[in-house]
Amino acid sequence: MALETTTHDLEEAVIKFAGDSGDGMQLTGTQFTTNSALFGNDLGTFPDFPAEIRAPIGTVAGVSGFQLHFGSKEIFTPGDICDVLVVMNSAALKSNIRNIKKGGIIIANTAGFDAKNLKLANMTSNALEDDSLTNYTVIKIDVTRMTREALTDIQLGMKEKDRCKNMFVLGFLYWMFNREMDNTIKFLNDKFGKKPEVLEANLRVLKAGYSYGDTTETFNTRYKVEKAVMPAGTYRSIMGNQATALGLVAASKKSGLPLFLGSYPITPASDILHDLAKYKSFGVKTFQAEDEIAAITSAIGASFGGSLAVTTTSGPGMALKTEALGLATVLEIPLVIINVQRGGPSTGLPTKTEQADLFQAYYGRNGECPIPIVAAQSPSDCFNAVYEACRISVQHMIPVILLTDGYIANGAEPWRFPKESELEEIKIEFAKPMAEGEKFMPYARDEKLSRPWAIPGTKGLEHRIGGLEKQNITGNISYEPENHEFMVKLREEKVERIANYIPEQKIDSGPSKGKLLVLGWGGTYGALKAAVRELNEEGFAIAHAHLRHMRPFPKNLGEILNNYDKVLIPEINNGQLVKIIRDKYFIDAMAYNKIQGLPFFKSELMDKIRETLK
């Protein structure tokens, strides 16, 4: 019989699931996220993968986490600290105890706190038995034992049974937050429909977790987070890499160009390749190359043949693609290069987020080789950002770099499906056959300084192409010193002229003039917006502007910067945009940097802004 419970209404809540890599915390968090999105909450997520691919089981290095912030109001971040922390073992508690607020709820799997697990986590005492957790509400559940008891008559091995324990936790959380289980039941049926015993095991444990909350006497408080008021439309929960893939498909259809992706798998960009491979029916061609160089050069070939050509990678892969980027720049052909940034240098921290590749995008090629740069600001914004990168690339006949990062690539938020009519037109004009007696000039230019896009095999459009310096208009190979200088400056001007075809910069929130402008780019958007908005409500005259177009900058950016006494630029790097802004606009912009493989917390940004205003 269900016990009498007390229900509290919450405006927002932050939950973090943490355990060993094999405990299914990413799946558990994703299912709760999907449930929240379908219910109608606004949300933000932060999957926290271990940096080591195969860290020893039970160690702090092997802890995998998933943080979810959901609410009935607008959500901009995955939350600074959590209200509820689920830990499957002692290592998960040790690595996340600092991330839970005082008075928060810790749900602990007691089986993960035996002597063996304590030793693996380098803990001298059991936190569930000493006095170290007196500031929290601790719910002790032997999840492992209860999972096994629920599956006594299921013909599965003990390892297979133990893999279901994340469903027990999920069921209990569904009970705690007054949620239906229907979407997860459907997910399990779709995933394990051909494995009836595995399906039955997961369903049974999910319901056992829910029933435990309904019948246990140790915890009788439930919570309710109402739906958020959001613009009307059809929504889905989407991750950044998924949105990037869909944005590429949309740009392909809107432009009428076949989409080609040449890519080499690399964390955290690989999912774009995986997702695009599902869209063969849309004329999408994906090629998993043997290395990064083959990936980008295959895309260059596809572009020469008239395709919307894309290559995806992360920072180490960008280093390998460098020479081919110079080739694409000299050829002046469309190409979209997507860099999902991660920690570095070298192979760096594959699963940790960073904004460390802005200098690489700006300057990381031999010679004078300017390339336009676009940056995405949130998981769902990856759709709009990559669409814009494609538009600029094909309409200006130029390679374009799109910067996302591991945080927004793997994070999720609700996304309202755009209508086809809402997408900006991407008009394509290929070079037409020449009239009798006329000679095709491959580097003749329009008002954008763009050269014609000539499809191979078109009669009369035969021309020379390659990596050597070209003569303007004719495209002939030229070693003349004056021509090289002219072409270098022309390619620079071609990039700068794109500013005439992009929107002017807007202030995201706050006054148009004032004491302080907080200027951001990329995945810092949510934290900056939340921090500035809260300080505005407290009466501080500060503003926030966020850059999408990193090169060239919007034409009015300099004017905006000069409207404020101070400019603060927070970045998840050692200070890159701040140096570019100082160089270009001669203002004493201030840097605020975090290089920990983690996104900014709203609280630390608010503290820094207050300090700056003093």
- Mean pLDDT, range 431-457, rounded to an integer: 92
> Any idea of the CA torsion for 360, 361, 364, 370, to the nearest 10 degrees?
-150
Query: Residue 136 above 60 pLDDT?
Result: yes
> Please, what is the end-to-end C-alpha distance for the chain in angstroms?
59
- Where does a domain end: 192, 225, 258? 225
Q: Do 215 and 258 fall within a single domain?
A: no
The CATH number that applies at residue 339 is 3.40.50.970
- Mean pLDDT, range 119-140, rounded to an integer: 94
Q: Do 76 and 217 fall within a single domain?
A: yes
pLDDT for position 464: 82
Q: What H or E segment, with its residue span, contains residue 414?
A: strand 412-416
- Which structure tokens are listed for 319? 């280093």
Query: Residue 320 above 80 pLDDT?
Result: yes
Adjacency order of strands within the sheet including 373-375: 285-288, 259-263, 308-313, 335-341, 399-405, 373-375, 549-551
Domain count for the chain, please give it.
3
The CATH number that applies at residue 545 is 3.40.50.920
Is residue 255 domain-resident?
yes
**Residue that has been written with the tokens 């289980």 in this structure:** 181
The CATH number that applies at residue 84 is 3.40.920.10
Sign of the torsion formed by the C-alpha atoms of 557, 559, 564 and 565: positive
SS3 215: helix
Q: Do 248 and 341 fall within a single domain?
A: yes
Q: What is the DSSP letter of 267?
A: T
pLDDT grade for 534, boundaries at 50, 70 and 90: very high
Would you list the DSSP string of 546-587? EESEEESPPTTHHHHHTTEEEEEEEESSSSSHHHHHHHHH--
Q: Do 391 and 357 fall within a single domain?
A: yes
- Mean pLDDT, range 52-81, rounded to an integer: 92
Beta bridge partners of 221: 6
Sign of the torsion formed by the C-alpha atoms of 401, 396, 423 and 525: positive
Q: pTM for this one?
A: 0.94
Is residue 276 domain-resident?
yes
Is residue 464 domain-resident?
no
Q: Do 10 and 89 fall within a single domain?
A: yes
Is residue 572 domain-resident?
yes
Is residue 122 domain-resident?
yes
- Mean pLDDT, range 463-482, rounded to an integer: 92
Q: Do 91 and 216 fall within a single domain?
A: yes
Q: Do 89 and 190 fall within a single domain?
A: yes
Q: Do 257 and 156 fall within a single domain?
A: no
Q: Do 347 and 301 fall within a single domain?
A: yes
- Which structure tokens are listed for 371? 């390339």
pLDDT for position 3: 63
Is residue 429 domain-resident?
no
CA 195 to CA 470: how far, in whole Å? 61
What size, in residues, is the chain? 614
Q: Do 192 and 155 fall within a single domain?
A: yes
Q: Do 247 and 332 fall within a single domain?
A: yes
Is residue 440 domain-resident?
no
pLDDT grade for 2, boundaries at 50, 70 and 90: low
Is residue 203 domain-resident?
yes
**Could you report the per-residue pLDDT of 93-111, keeping only the tens digit for each?**
999 999 999 999 999 999 9
- Where does a domain end: 170, 195, 225? 225
**Could you report the per-residue pLDDT of 207-218, keeping only the tens digit for each?**
999 999 988 877
**Residue that has been written with the tokens 């270009």 in this structure:** 584
Burial of 354 (0-12, 13-18, 19+ CB in 10 A): buried
Average pLDDT, the chain: 95
- Where does a domain end: 199, 225, 251? 225
Look up the domain containing 402 and give its range.
Answer: 237-422
- Which structure tokens are listed for 261? 């992706």
Q: What H or E segment, with its residue span, contains residue 309?
A: strand 308-313
Q: Do 180 and 75 fall within a single domain?
A: yes
